[in-house]
Amino acid sequence: MKINKQEIIRIAKYVFSAGSSFLLDLGCFTILSLILGSSTKMIFISTIIARIISSIYNYLINSRIVFKNKSKKGVIGYFLLVIIQMIMSATIVSLIKRYLNIFTTIIKFIVDIIIFIVNYIVQKEIVFK
């Protein structure tokens, strides 16, 4: 894959989109967990609501600014990718944590960086093509 100036700009936009989506997700989760409480059920609900909000924001930024594809066809693929990403992240982090005594946040950070790279390729080549 040849990387030209346009691709570098697209990658920079994608990094901004992903980073701001992460901050939105974390902020919504924090606010919701403060309001709803920290029981397992409320953490689960806070996580889902925060992910819904941040993924809608991320979809809008990616479809309109990063990949400049306003077609509605990509929405199903994008949200399927979001669900797959959540399942993959949770599963891989859980498996690594089970066998290695490493701080969970470090594991999640590394796993999510790999997923971030794969997501860029999938969104560019499939979802928003």
Look at residue 120 in the predicted model and tell me its pLDDT: 84
Buried b (16+ CB within 10 A) or exposed e, 107-116: bbeebbeebe
Q: Which of 110, 116, 85, 84 is nearest to 97 (CA)?
A: 110
What's the whole-number average pLDDT of the chain?
85
Look at residue 39 in the predicted model and tell me its pLDDT: 63
Look at residue 128 in the predicted model and tell me its pLDDT: 82
Look at residue 1 in the predicted model and tell me its pLDDT: 56
Look at residue 40 in the predicted model and tell me its pLDDT: 62
**pLDDT tens digits, 26-46:** 888 889 888 987 666 677 788
DSSP type of residue 65: I
Helix, strand, coil percentages for the chain (3-state, nearest 5): 85, 0, 15
Look at residue 126 in the predicted model and tell me its pLDDT: 86
Domain ranges of the chain: 5-127
Q: Is the pLDDT of residue 94 over 70?
A: yes
Q: Are 66 and 78 in contact (CB under 8 A)?
A: no
Look at residue 56 in the predicted model and tell me its pLDDT: 95
**pLDDT tens digits, 6-28:** 889 999 999 999 999 988 988 88
Neighbours of 102 (CB within 10 A): 11
| Residue written as token pair 């390729």 | 121
